[in-house]
């Protein structure tokens, strides 16, 4: 049985088809990359899986149970965590408190949530910033904070949306190392990544989206040779 099963998911915004009958399955323990040009429908797909949008057609199943149309908090509780492309930490809270918000989903009391939050801050390399306010963090550090908050909800499946997007070049290797580290924690990962070199280095399977459609799904070395993908990134002229 697959951990996650997406079948025929279609999501429209007015005349725009952001997701067009997308189907794929993710097995327990996989790290699957999701690529595609801006506007391909990647973030929308995450929004559908995590219950922020209800698809017009199709289904999402998690651990065998249908979760289509369930509320985001129910889906988080079932074991799907996510980070957001557009970061929105609680800027008036400390770094520790931000992660405690995630941990409180399951922790029986604040003291336990605090303990767990500290553990995940350690994991992402932000332990020294625990008492800082979220607004004081750099973009790279905010991405780490997002990952700690999401991990604190104890997901079985974690969706990461452009962890290296918008951070300075020097911060990228550390973030990539951290993604690999999360996998060692036992979470299955679905990773949206704009940087092709980054995704090639961590994923053994890549799903490519273009204009809402899934155009490729396979090992990185096959996917990068896919004619439709090359066209999508470079224009038909180059292909
Ligand atoms: P990606 O993450 O691959 O860059 P998105 O999923 O954000 O792509 O967007 C896919 C398409 O859906 C784009 O054309 C985008 O403009 C459109 N879209 C996304 N969210 C909304 C929304 N809330 N309202 C209207 N259009 C949207
Ligand atoms: Mg996006």
| Assigned domain for 88 exists | yes
Helix (H, G, I), strand (E, B) or coil at 154: coil
Atom number in ligand 1 closest to CA 212: 10
Q: Which ligand is nearest to the CA of 161?
A: 2
Residue 236 Cβ inside 6 Å of ligand 1? The answer reads no
| Assigned domain for 239 exists | no
Tally the domains of the chain.
1
Q: Which ligand is nearest to the CA of 18?
A: 1
| Assigned domain for 201 exists | yes
| Phi, psi (rounded to 5 degrees) for 216 | -155, 155
Q: Tokens 């995630």: give the residue.
A: 102
pTM: 0.95
At residue 238, the pLDDT reads: 60
Distance in Å, CA 41 to ligand 1 centroid: 6
Range of the domain at 101: 4-234
| Assigned domain for 112 exists | yes
Distance in Å, CA 50 to ligand 1 centroid: 15
Residue 11 Cβ inside 6 Å of ligand 1? The answer reads no
| Assigned domain for 114 exists | yes
Report the alpha-carbon distance of residue 218 to residue 75 in Å, rounded: 27
Q: What is the pLDDT along the chain (239 residues), one digit of tens a residue?
A: 799 999 999 999 999 999 999 999 999 999 999 999 999 999 999 999 999 999 999 999 999 999 999 999 999 999 999 999 887 778 889 999 999 999 999 999 999 999 999 999 999 999 999 999 999 999 999 999 999 999 999 999 999 999 999 899 999 999 999 999 999 999 999 999 988 889 999 999 999 999 999 999 999 999 988 888 888 887 766 65
Report the alpha-carbon distance of residue 113 to residue 130 in Å, rounded: 14
At residue 229, the pLDDT reads: 86
């Amino acid at each position: 049985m697959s951990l996650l099963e997406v079948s025929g998911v279609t999501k429209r915004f007015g005349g725009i088809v952001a997701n067009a009958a997308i189907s794929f399955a993710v097995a327990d323990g996989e790290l699957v990359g999701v690529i595609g040009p801006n506007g391909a429908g990647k973030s929308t797909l995450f929004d559908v899986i995590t219950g922020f949008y209800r698809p017009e057609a199709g289904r999402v199943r998690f651990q065998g149970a249908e979760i289509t149309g369930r509320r985001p908090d129910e889906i988080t509780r079932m074991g799907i965590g996510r980070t957001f492309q557009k970061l929105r930490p609680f800027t008036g809270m400390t770094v520790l408190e931000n992660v405690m918000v995630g941990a409180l989903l399951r922790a029986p009391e604040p003291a336990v949530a605090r303990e767990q939050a500290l553990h995940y801050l350690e994991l992402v390399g932000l332990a020294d910033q625990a008492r800082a306010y979220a607004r004081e963090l750099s973009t790279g550090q905010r991405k780490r904070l997002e990952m700690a908050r999401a991990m604190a909800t104890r997901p079985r499946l974690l969706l990461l949306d452009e962890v290296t997007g918008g951070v300075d070049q020097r911060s990228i290797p550390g973030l990539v190392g951290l993604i690999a580290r999360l996998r060692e924690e036992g979470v299955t990962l679905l990773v949206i990544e704009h940087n092709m070199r980054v995704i090639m280095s961590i994923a053994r399977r890549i799903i490519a989206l273009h204009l809402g459609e899934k155009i490729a799904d396979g090992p990185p070395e096959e996917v990068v040779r896919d004619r439709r993908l090359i066209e999508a990134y470079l224009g038909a002229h180059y292909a």
